[in-house]
Amino acid sequence: MVNSRIFTAALIVIGDEILSGRTHDRNISQVAAWLQVQGIRLKEVRVVADNTAAIVEAVNTLRARNDYLFTTGGIGPTHDDITVDAIAEALGVGVIIHPDARAILGRYYETRGGLTEARLRMARVPDGADLIPNRFTGAPGIRVDNIFIMAGVPSITAGMLEALTGTLEGGAPLLSETIGCWVGESDVADLLRATEQAHESCQIGSYPFWREGKTGANFVIRSTDADKLAACTADLVAGLKASGRDAVPGGI
Amino acid sequence: MVNSRIFTAALIVIGDEILSGRTHDRNISQVAAWLQVQGIRLKEVRVVADNTAAIVEAVNTLRARNDYLFTTGGIGPTHDDITVDAIAEALGVGVIIHPDARAILGRYYETRGGLTEARLRMARVPDGADLIPNRFTGAPGIRVDNIFIMAGVPSITAGMLEALTGTLEGGAPLLSETIGCWVGESDVADLLRATEQAHESCQIGSYPFWREGKTGANFVIRSTDADKLAACTADLVAGLKASGRDAVPGGI
C-alpha cells in the first residue's frame, strides 16, 4: 500500500564552479527525476559556494524542514573539498575516519599508488555516518541522519542514487500527464485556470515554446490520484477541442 | 577605475517544472556567466516551487543580503504565473498595471488577436517598478528595488540580460586562469593546498574528470588581482613540472 503522507526532500549543490558559470549543473535534474520515482517531492534546491558558513546555514535550514536532504559536491581529496567538515559542524559532531571507507579506498588504491594522506581524506565522515557505495571510484558517499552526501561528478552521483534506489520511504508518487498544443498559452489561459479549479487535487502547469516559427505550449497535469488526473486531462483535451484545437498526447 | 567593493547577487529560479525534473534548468549558468562579466559575484541560487510562501521567503532573505536579486520564471499569462504577486507581497506593495507595459503589449498583440485579459496579466508589476525590455515577445521583465524579475524561457531571459548589460554597478571582476593536467587530483592535493596558502588572495579549485580512459583534473585559479593571479598560476605550473607533470594552459 502506498503511504498517503507526502515525503519531501531538499538538495544542496555545493560548488564555486556552478556559481561562477564555469560548470553547467547536471545534478539538479538527475536528483529531481530520481526523487519523483521514489515518491519523494523535491521542495527546494540551493546552490551554495565552497564556504563553511554557507553550507552550515543551508544544511540546518533544509534538514529540519524536509524528510531528506541531499548534497552534491565537495567530497574529493583536495583542500577545496569541505562538505564533510561543514556538515559535521552543522550537526555538532566530530569527523572520524570510517573504517569501512578506509578499507574500500585501501583496496581501490592498492594498484594505483597506495592510500596517501590526501586520498584518506575521502574516508572522513561525520561521526555516526554510514556509507553509500560508489562502484566507480571507490570513494563512498555518506549517509548521516537524514542527510545524503554525494559526489559532484554527475556520473558518480548517478551510481550513488542507483545504490539508494528503493531504500528510502516515499509516499504516493506525484503522477503527471503532458499534452501539447499549437496555441499561445495566453489564448487558453482562462481554460487552464477554469479546468484546474474544477479538479480539486490537480495542478496544471503551462510551458510555452516557439518552434518551427510557431507558438505552442505543453500543459502538464499533476496529481497523486490516477483517476482525478485522467479526468482533469480529459476535460482539458475536451476544452481545447471545443475551441477548435487538437491536443497532442505526451506533449510536443 | 574599478570599484574595490565586492558586489553580490542571488538568483531565484521559480518553477515546479525544474523541481520535478521535467525541465533541465538553463538559466543558472547563463545568469552566472553574465554576472561574472558585470563584476558581480553570484553568492547563492535557490530553486523554489510555484508557491507564494516559498517565493516570499526566498525573496526576503536574499534581497536583504545581496546587492542584487534576480528571479527567473512565473511571469507569463497563465494561472500558474504568480511571481509578480509573490514579490509584491514580499515587498509589502500592491500590484498595478504598468502603463508602458500595457502599451508595449497592446502594440505587440495588435496583429496577434488583441490584448486579452490573460495577456494583460503580463503588464502587472509591483507598485513602483520599472520595465526591462524584451525584444522577443513584448512582455517585459521588471525591475523593482534591487530585484530583477525575468522570464523562465532561457532565450527571453538572455535578451533581458542583454538589455541590462553595463547598467548595474559592479566591482573588480573575479579573474581566473585554468590549467589542466593528466593527473589524479589526489596525487597533487598537497601541492594545491600549499600553492593556495602561499598566495593570499587567490583560490584554487580542483575539478577532476575521467576521459579517454585516463584521469585528469582542471585547476581554476581565481583572484581579483591580475598580478597575484599570474604569480599563483606560474607557481602551480612550476610545482606540477617539478613533479614531472606538464600543465595544459586553458585546461583540458
| Structure confidence by residue, pLDDT tens digits, B96-152 | 999 999 999 999 999 988 999 999 999 999 999 999 998 887 889 999 999 999 999
Cβ(B101)–Cβ(B131) below 8 Å: yes
| Structure confidence by residue, pLDDT tens digits, B148-205 | 999 999 999 999 999 999 999 998 888 899 999 999 999 999 999 999 999 999 999 9
The answer to whether the CB atoms of B118 and A190 lie below 8 A apart is yes
The answer to whether the CB atoms of A17 and B222 lie below 8 A apart is no
Distance of residue B19 Cα from the nearest chain A Cα, in angstroms: 6
| ipTM metric | 0.90
In a domain, A170, yes or no: no
Cα–Cα distance between A226 and A222 in angstroms, integer?
9
Q: In the predicted model, what is the mean pLDDT of residues B63-90?
A: 97
The answer to whether the CB atoms of A17 and B50 lie below 8 A apart is no
Dihedrals φ, ψ of B136, to 5°? -90, -50
**DSSP letter, residue A65:** S
Pick the residue of B8, B13, B14, B19 with the most A CBs within 10 A to test the interface with A by mutation: B19
A100 phi-psi bin (left φ>0, alpha ψ -120 to 50, beta other): alpha
Q: Are residues A106 and A219 in the same domain?
A: no
Q: What is the pLDDT confidence band of residue A5, given thresholds at 50, 70 and 90?
A: confident
Q: Does residue B10 carry a pLDDT above 70?
A: yes
More confident residue, B64 or A208: B64
Cα–Cα distance between A27 and B156 in angstroms, integer?
24
> What separation in angstroms does the CA of B27 have from each of A19, B55, B58?
12, 17, 17
In a domain, A187, yes or no: yes
Half-sphere exposure of A178 (CA within 13 A, CB side): 13
Other Cβ atoms closer than 10 A to A202: 25
Chain B residues whose beta carbon lies within 8 Å of the beta carbon of residue A119:
186
Closest CA to B35 of B71, B61, B10: B10
Cα–Cα distance between B22 and A9 in angstroms, integer?
17
Q: Are residues A189 and A139 in the same domain?
A: no
Chain B residues whose beta carbon lies within 8 Å of the beta carbon of residue A193:
78-79
Other Cβ atoms closer than 10 A to A120: 17
**pLDDT on residue A171:** 87
In a domain, B1, yes or no: no
Cα–Cα distance between B44 and A15 in angstroms, integer?
10
**pLDDT on residue A3:** 59
**pLDDT on residue A163:** 94
**DSSP letter, residue A6:** P
Average pLDDT along chain B: 94
Average pLDDT along chain A: 94
Q: Are residues A154 and A119 in the same domain?
A: yes
Q: Are residues B159 and B183 in the same domain?
A: no
Among A139, A164, A189, the domain boundary falls at A164
Cβ(B105)–Cβ(B119) below 8 Å: yes
The answer to whether the CB atoms of B204 and A30 lie below 8 A apart is no
The answer to whether the CB atoms of B21 and A43 lie below 8 A apart is no
- Express as a percent the part of chain B with pLDDT over 70: 99
Among A164, A194, A211, the domain boundary falls at A164
Minimum-distance CB partner of A118 among B36, B190, B203: B190
Closest CA to A18 of A52, A57, A45: A45
Q: Are residues B31 and B156 in the same domain?
A: yes
CATH code of the domain in which B122 resides: 3.40.980.10
Q: In the predicted model, what is the mean pLDDT of residues B66-93?
A: 97
C-alpha cell at A88: 559535521
Among B138, B164, B190, the domain boundary falls at B164
Closest CA to B161 of B27, B48, B44, B62: B27
Cβ(B16)–Cβ(B50) below 8 Å: yes
**pLDDT on residue A211:** 84
The domain of B216 spans 175-249
Dihedrals φ, ψ of B73, to 5°? 100, 150
In a domain, B169, yes or no: no
Q: Are residues A150 and A179 in the same domain?
A: no
- For chain A, the residue count is 252
Q: What is the pLDDT confidence band of residue B3, given thresholds at 50, 70 and 90?
A: low
The answer to whether the CB atoms of B189 and A36 lie below 8 A apart is no
Q: Are residues B147 and B179 in the same domain?
A: no
Q: What is the pLDDT confidence band of residue B1, given thresholds at 50, 70 and 90?
A: very low
Does the model's pTM come out above 0.80? Answer: yes
Cα–Cα distance between A120 and A19 in angstroms, integer?
28
Closest CA to B233 of B173, B172, B176, B174: B176
Residues 6+ apart with CB under 8 A from B196: A79, B202, B203, B204, B232
Q: Does residue B2 carry a pLDDT above 80?
A: no
Q: Are residues A109 and A24 in the same domain?
A: yes
Closest CA to A30 of B11, B44, B25, B28: B25
Q: Which of residues 72-111 of B touch A (CB under 8 A)?
A: 76-80
Q: Are residues B156 and B179 in the same domain?
A: no
Q: Are residues A149 and A88 in the same domain?
A: yes
- Give the containing element (helix H, strand E) for A142: strand A141-144
Q: What is the pLDDT confidence band of residue A1, given thresholds at 50, 70 and 90?
A: very low
Number of H helices, E strands in chain A: 9, 12
Q: Are residues A80 and A191 in the same domain?
A: no
Cα–Cα distance between B97 and B127 in angstroms, integer?
9
Q: For chain A, what is the domain count?
A: 2
Closest CA to A138 of A155, A123, A158: A123
In a domain, A1, yes or no: no
Q: Are residues A149 and A29 in the same domain?
A: yes
Cβ(B170)–Cβ(B3) below 8 Å: yes
Q: In the predicted model, what is the mean pLDDT of residues A145-154?
A: 96
In a domain, B2, yes or no: no
In a domain, B110, yes or no: yes
Range scoring the smallest mean pLDDT among A67-71, A178-182, B115-119, B235-239: B115-119
| Structure confidence by residue, pLDDT tens digits, A61-75 | 999 999 999 999 999
In a domain, A2, yes or no: no
Q: In the predicted model, what is the mean pLDDT of residues B34-56?
A: 96
CATH code of the domain in which B211 resides: 3.30.70.260
**pLDDT on residue B228:** 96
Beta partners for residue B175, in sequence order: B223
